[in-house]
Amino acid sequence: MESVDVAVVGAGPAGCSAAREAADEKTVVVFEKGVRREDRDGVGPDSTDAAGFLDYWLEVADVSPEFFDEMPVLQEVERAELAGPTETATMRDTGISSWYDGFGFTFDRVAMDDLLRERAEERGAEFCVGETVRGVESFRTSGGYVHELTVAGGEEVRAETVILADGPSRRVTLPALAQFDESGVEDALNPRDANHIAYQEHRRFPDELFEDDVLRFRWGVIPGETAYPWYFPNDDNVARVGVTVPRGVGIDADDNEEYALLRDDGTTPAPSEYVRRYLEDEYPSYSLDDFPLAEERGKDGGTESYPISSTRPVESPARAGVLVAGGAMGATSAFHEGGYHVAMATGKAAGRVTAEDRVADYNDEWRDACGDELARNVGLARLVGGYTPDDWDALVSHAKAALEGGWLRRLRHAPAILLLQRRYSKARNGYVAVCEEDYEYSLPKRTK
């Protein structure tokens, strides 16, 4: 059996960031199962083109201005439109400080993932792409812990530290963590009633409709917890138009009238049907044919989908050398999109503590790097959890008053805004679902 210091499962932003930091001092091997895309030769990480950053996310991801110059930026955006069923608020400033002067940008996800891999390889990390990890078994030894990975095809690898970065599918992470805790983690990371699917289409817009400097989100038009359509501009008049929808939410008769993207037929629309209706609603004098699919992009003919779970983050059984990062730990999920930066931040934290022989510090390290951002995401998700379309309109109209209103309007909305702020502060508390002390370390012993 081959032995390495560190085995990383998954070569997304979390895995590559971890590998680069760890490879400074350790032998590192990264296993990536390999996903095909229209816009990449061969297989690579699951780079679902999900790439927008707000200004302060660069700080969370610890991206320096020098590294930013290498990033494959597609569009600089100057505002986000946050819409409810009938109201829209425009945000031009996140209010959080950053060295980056603009509001945000979109980037080429495939090129960015490849860049992170190159940077890890430069430091000596070895990548095994097209190799799926089937499982991880952990043991106590006389000196600490050891982890044995089984790779599809039967190969086995032994590692002192394993960094689990297999994204929101968590097929390796869940059983690996269950060795330390038989039920809590599974319930926390795999809630049966809140699994979502993100689906998007790369569509080429007519010149007069393509806007390259705005991100758009619209809430309260699809039933289900934090379900919504969005618009993200990429290059060459192509925008990514997509939806996040919960799996298995049935539509009942009352919903038909309440939600703008439902129709009177009582059926649950497929994600692609939601996208079609969104475009119809936003651009009523155009037809779908005016927005042809950019079939050379995405995973499959200009489309792609990706599982996500609306979960809270978990800590890792770090002192045993099992570190979970990014989507695998639920760090990127509570409010769905907005995870590349925390994937990088948690990955870097995992790699850094490994390189410096202080794996037990991992949970403190990632909290320092992005705990505030995770609490913000969990707080927001909890705040809007049971919102109806009317609640969304009310929220957006308060946001509009706060962001764009004159003093009189702001004054009128002040009591509601204060109440929301109080609820939100409360909702941020206890944002971690499983803490390190919840784990048990009574693993089988390996004597040789």
Ligand X SMILES: Cc1cc2nc3c(=O)[nH]c(=O)nc-3n(C[C@H](O)[C@H](O)[C@H](O)COP(=O)(O)OP(=O)(O)OC[C@H]3O[C@@H](n4cnc5c(N)ncnc54)[C@H](O)[C@@H]3O)c2cc1C
Footprint of ligand X (CB under 6 A):
9-15, 31-33, 35, 45-46, 48, 50-52, 132-133, 165-167, 169, 171-172, 198, 200, 242, 306, 308, 326-328, 332, 337-341, 343
Closest separation in Å from C-beta 346 to ligand X: 8
The three-class DSSP label of residue 25 is coil
In eight-state DSSP terms, residue 270 is P
> By C-alpha distance, which of 162, 135, 142, 4 is closest to 446?
142
Closest separation in Å from C-beta 197 to ligand X: 9
Name the helix (H) or strand (E) containing 132. none
Enumerate the β-bridge partners of residue 32: 129
* C-beta of residue 333 within 8 angstroms of C-beta of residue 310: yes
C-beta closer to ligand X: residue 196 or 277? 196
Closest separation in Å from C-beta 359 to ligand X: 19
C-beta closer to ligand X: residue 338 or 379? 338
Measured in whole angstroms, the distance separating CA 121 from the mean position of its chain's CA atoms is 24
Exposed e or buried b per residue across 286-306, where buried means at least 16 C-beta atoms within 10 angstroms of its C-beta: eeeeebebbeebbbeebbbbb
- Distance separating alpha carbons of residues 361 and 344, to the nearest angstrom: 17
C-beta closer to ligand X: residue 303 or 397? 303
Closest separation in Å from C-beta 329 to ligand X: 8
CB atoms within 10 A of CB 404: 14
Closest separation in Å from C-beta 306 to ligand X: 4
C-beta closer to ligand X: residue 10 or 224? 10
Closest separation in Å from C-beta 409 to ligand X: 30
C-beta closer to ligand X: residue 177 or 328? 328
* C-beta of residue 369 within 8 angstroms of C-beta of residue 352: no
CB atoms within 10 A of CB 185: 28
> By C-alpha distance, which of 161, 138, 173 is closest to 3?
161
The three-class DSSP label of residue 214 is strand
Exposed e or buried b per residue across 231-266, where buried means at least 16 C-beta atoms within 10 angstroms of its C-beta: bbbbeebbbbbbbbbbeebebeeebeeebbbbeeee
> By C-alpha distance, which of 38, 33, 26, 30 is closest to 8?
30
* C-beta of residue 336 within 8 angstroms of C-beta of residue 244: yes
> By C-alpha distance, which of 397, 379, 339 is closest to 60?
339
Tokens of 195: 């699994």
C-beta closer to ligand X: residue 9 or 375? 9
- Distance separating alpha carbons of residues 378 and 380, to the nearest angstrom: 5
The three-class DSSP label of residue 175 is helix
Q: What are phi and psi of 253, to 5 degrees?
A: -55, -40
Closest separation in Å from C-beta 234 to ligand X: 11
Closest separation in Å from C-beta 303 to ligand X: 11
Q: Could you tell me how many helices (H) and strands (E) the chain has, helices first? A: 12, 17
C-beta closer to ligand X: residue 35 or 260? 35
C-beta closer to ligand X: residue 19 or 395? 19
C-beta closer to ligand X: residue 196 or 398? 196
C-beta closer to ligand X: residue 322 or 394? 322
Closest separation in Å from C-beta 426 to ligand X: 26
C-beta closer to ligand X: residue 162 or 401? 162
C-beta closer to ligand X: residue 164 or 443? 164
Closest separation in Å from C-beta 362 to ligand X: 15
Closest separation in Å from C-beta 126 to ligand X: 14
Exposed e or buried b per residue across 308-324, where buried means at least 16 C-beta atoms within 10 angstroms of its C-beta: bbbbbbbbbbbbbbbbb
Closest separation in Å from C-beta 23 to ligand X: 17
